Amino acid sequence: MKNLVGACMFGQSGGPTSVINSSAAGVFTEALKQGNITAVYGAEHGIVGILNEKFFDISKEDPKEIELLKYTPSSALGSARYKLKDADVDDTDYKRILEVFEKYNIRYFFYNGGNDSMDTCNKVSKYLQSVGYECNVIGVPKTIDNDLFGTDHCPGYASAAKYIANTIMECYLDAKVYNFGQVCIIEIMGRNAGWLTAAAALAGYKGLGADLIYLPEVPFDTDKFVESVKSVCEKNDNKCIVAVSEGLKNAEGKYVAECTVSQNDTFGHAQLGGLAQILANVVKEKLGVKVRAIELSLMQRCGAHLASKTDVEEAFNAGAFAVRSAVEGETDKMVIFERSSDENGNYVCKNVLMPLELAANTEKKVPLEWITQDGSYVGDEFIEYALPLIQGDAKAPLEDGLPRFAQLKKVFANV
Amino acid sequence: MKNLVGACMFGQSGGPTSVINSSAAGVFTEALKQGNITAVYGAEHGIVGILNEKFFDISKEDPKEIELLKYTPSSALGSARYKLKDADVDDTDYKRILEVFEKYNIRYFFYNGGNDSMDTCNKVSKYLQSVGYECNVIGVPKTIDNDLFGTDHCPGYASAAKYIANTIMECYLDAKVYNFGQVCIIEIMGRNAGWLTAAAALAGYKGLGADLIYLPEVPFDTDKFVESVKSVCEKNDNKCIVAVSEGLKNAEGKYVAECTVSQNDTFGHAQLGGLAQILANVVKEKLGVKVRAIELSLMQRCGAHLASKTDVEEAFNAGAFAVRSAVEGETDKMVIFERSSDENGNYVCKNVLMPLELAANTEKKVPLEWITQDGSYVGDEFIEYALPLIQGDAKAPLEDGLPRFAQLKKVFANV
């Protein structure tokens, strides 16, 4: 562990969340305070900005705008989906990164993202070590999917979960308002992990939730699904709300969205539209009821107006902790969250470090024992897990009745 | 004008909004205070509840829950889509309504809804007059579509507009985050009026809006649309956000959603999914860019967590004003809003009465002169019109990190 003196580079990577900028605010606020950090840079579009030598001088930003980053969704610096090759296959990118780091004396590197981004961060860290370039590298977790290995939960997850729970409560009131029935199928993100879709159970905990919840952890059987919808409809005036994960797969491991063809289409065309629309067509055909498909789309990951205060603060703290740890000499690690409770039994979230290579490319899924036997709901273990994470509101101040998001000057450091 | 003594009946009708229950709170709060009103009833599922003799005794409700109605979306009493026949064609329903009104000595009738509901309210009012049954009838406006004739704006519109503007701002930040392009097509409600879709311009006013906005007031030309998207893409790294109204029609007056067939489908099947998905397919085929279709679906009309405080208060006041007016002897009228300004030039909204028959079944559209010549955006007149309406936040208190909506006991009056 070395106490280094030099500049720091921060990058944002992967899909947006409501609080990834809150981690940026944590990194910037802490880094600007540190005597050992001689300059604070923010890469435009993550690793791509480093390769292109395009990054902003954060010291030029108004502290008020850095504070507003806490409530500004998406990645203020721009994001990227760029996969580094293995260095032993092709080290071109790594040599370029080293060149840029040497030119600007980058001695601290913080990278904020999910599985793929931690893979990038890990590769850069290992390469710099292999060539003997001293740079403390810390990954800061981020993903609405909540599927990063090793951490109790991920910044960004709770705000998306809160958005989903709140929105389903409102849609419940709307979809059940008439004296006639309607089946409502709500499609939720999360790739191969059901954490986000499980958030529909939080709405159920408040009495206004989905009747059926399908996670990708359990193989999806379309016939069984139709039977379950039918059963709810029979008990409930044809009113039924279903939450489905975009990543549902059938018993053969194929995505349901890709292999389900509505029988209406006698030519066997795969129908367009997302999973919710496909399942809606199936239900309409088989049960003859009114069906509405809803996709929570981008809104669930960028709906910062419904962010969890707990999430916003934890994301900020994770960024600040990464900087303090690096300045104290830590490197090649990722920040993770450890859950415990205080003397009154209240939820406490502690920042800890974990070796970076453990985080890269491993998916953490919802435990199967949290899912009901028939695979159509989640148990109370999930409510206990998720409820502390969605507490409190935190949103941008209003200006003209609309949110006043951060407006960065984005002064290029190298011009 | 007669000062009547008797019970009052209130019903909610048509599609949900974020603030229709706020008008209910206004009616209930005011009616429960009035000495001339001997009982306050809330019909289950609007006019259907009256026909079925199913209505709740509102005096049994906790005042705290009536207060929470202000922040609870959808129609707490249940809604209906039931069209009364003309009384001179078939007066069965009217005789039944009269029978129920006589049985419970209903001398005040308040009906809350949009165009169709005002038609119902008008027909009931005229029938009761024709048979000499004394009952003061006042319609309370409601519609996210903002298309009711005679009023400056409608309760429910501003909250939906605020939801749309806020959501587009957030989606803008999300959809433009990468170093590669994406076209995002956002479908917005509003039937044949473009008021809601125009709200995308409020996001533009804050610098985070749609590049193109298409209202149903102007015939939609798919080829011209593709050209405009292409032009934005060329200037802007293939990044383009488009807001489209669900009610877009082509020059022949046909709904675009029904008559546009993606060329991919060589068998000429009309493709499933909403307008946004259909236009997304067209753009993808013609321009070869990444496209995402987003439907704001139920969320835009029930997203009470983003309600406008101005809207919540105006909806409440409209309900209370209806009751006071009826008690003072007014009948056969609908409440409308007149806009003016105070001595400091600040927006003021005044409640006024208008003959009911003027409101029934007439659609008010966005003035053509507010729409840009090429039909792909709206002018500053709209911003001036809409901005005062979306001011302030008003939402349900949090409980377990989620909204605590009203929970009515719903004690049937006739049991």
Compute CA A88 distance to the chain's CA centroid, rounded to the nearest angstrom: 31
Which pLDDT tens digit goes with each residue over A329-345?
999 999 999 999 999 99
Catalytic residue among B93, B116, B119, B145: B145
List beta partners, residue B212. Answer: B242
Distances A281 to A183, A271, B255 between C-alpha atoms, Å: 11, 10, 21
Dihedral (CA of A367, A369, A375, A379) sign: negative
The SS3 of residue A106 is strand
Closest to B158 in 3D by CA, of B329, B394, B373 = B394
- B151 to chain A, any CB pair closer than 8 A? The answer is no
- B202 to chain A, any CB pair closer than 8 A? The answer is yes
Closest to B186 in 3D by CA, of A399, A397, A302, A195 = A302
> What's the CA gap between A19 and A117, in Å, rounded?
16
Closest to B284 in 3D by CA, of B262, B255, B259, B260 = B262
Helix ranges restricted to H, B177-260: 195-198, 200-205, 222-235, 256-259
Q: What per-residue confidence (pLDDT) applies to A217? A: 97
The SS3 of residue A399 is strand
> What's the CA gap between B264 and B277, in Å, rounded?
13
Q: What per-residue confidence (pLDDT) applies to B261? A: 57
- B203 to chain A, any CB pair closer than 8 A? The answer is yes
Helix axes B157-175, B309-327, angle to 10 degrees: 170
Which pLDDT tens digit goes with each residue over B352-378?
999 999 987 678 999 999 999 999 999
Q: Answer yes or no: is pLDDT of B60 > 80.
A: yes
How far does the CA of residue B330 sit from the closest CA of chain A (Å)? 30
Q: What per-residue confidence (pLDDT) applies to B272? A: 42
> Residue B105, Cβ neighbours under 10 Å: how many?
13
For the question of residue B145 being annotated catalytic, the response is yes
> What's the CA gap between B320 and B8, in Å, rounded?
13
- B362 to chain A, any CB pair closer than 8 A? The answer is no
Contacts of B68 in chain A (CB under 8 A): none
Which residues, other chains included, contact A230 with Cβ-Cβ below 8 Å and sequence gap of 6+? A286, A287
Q: What per-residue confidence (pLDDT) applies to B369? A: 97
Contacts of A297 in chain B (CB under 8 A): 292, 294-295
> What's the CA gap between B140 and B117, in Å, rounded?
10
Q: What per-residue confidence (pLDDT) applies to A264? A: 45
Q: How confident is the model at residue B328 (pLDDT cuts 50, 70, 90)?
A: very high
Query: Which one of A400, A404, A408, A410 would you mutate to disrupt binding with B, by most B Cβ within 10 Å of its Cβ?
Result: A400
Q: What per-residue confidence (pLDDT) applies to B268? A: 42
CB A136 within 8 A of CB A330: yes
Q: What per-residue confidence (pLDDT) applies to B266? A: 38
Closest to B242 in 3D by CA, of B188, B303, B181 = B188
Q: What is the dihedral of CA B378, B382, B384, B390, to 10 degrees?
A: -120
Q: Answer yes or no: is pLDDT of B271 > 80.
A: no
3-state helix, strand, coil in chain A (%, to 5): 40, 20, 40
Helix ranges restricted to H, B90-186: 92-103, 115-130, 157-175
Q: How confident is the model at residue B80 (pLDDT cuts 50, 70, 90)?
A: very high
Which pLDDT tens digit goes with each residue over B106-160?
999 999 999 899 999 999 999 999 999 999 999 999 999 999 999 999 999 999 9
Closest to A144 in 3D by CA, of A153, A134, A136 = A153
Closest to A195 in 3D by CA, of A259, A166, A152 = A152
pLDDT in tens, chain A (415 residues): 567 999 999 999 999 999 999 999 999 999 999 999 999 999 999 999 999 999 999 999 999 999 999 999 999 999 998 999 999 999 999 999 999 999 999 999 999 999 899 999 999 999 999 999 999 999 999 999 999 999 999 999 999 999 999 999 999 999 999 988 999 999 999 989 999 999 999 999 999 999 999 999 999 999 999 999 999 999 999 999 999 999 999 999 999 988 765 544 434 444 445 899 999 999 999 999 999 999 999 999 999 999 999 999 999 999 999 999 999 999 999 999 999 999 999 999 999 999 999 987 678 999 999 999 999 999 999 999 999 999 999 999 999 999 999 999 999 997 5
Q: Answer yes or no: is pLDDT of B415 > 80.
A: no
Closest to B334 in 3D by CA, of B170, B70, B61, B149 = B149
> What's the CA gap between B270 and B51, in Å, rounded?
40
> What's the CA gap between B156 and B123, in Å, rounded?
24
Q: Do A295 and B294 touch (CB under 8 A)?
A: yes
Q: What per-residue confidence (pLDDT) applies to A194? A: 97
CB B10 within 8 A of CB B27: yes
Q: What per-residue confidence (pLDDT) applies to B273? A: 53
Which pLDDT tens digit goes with each residue over B237-264?
999 999 999 999 999 999 998 876 544 4
> What's the CA gap between A80 and A47, in Å, rounded?
7
Rg value, chain A, Cα: 23
Percent of chain B residues topping a pLDDT of 70? 96
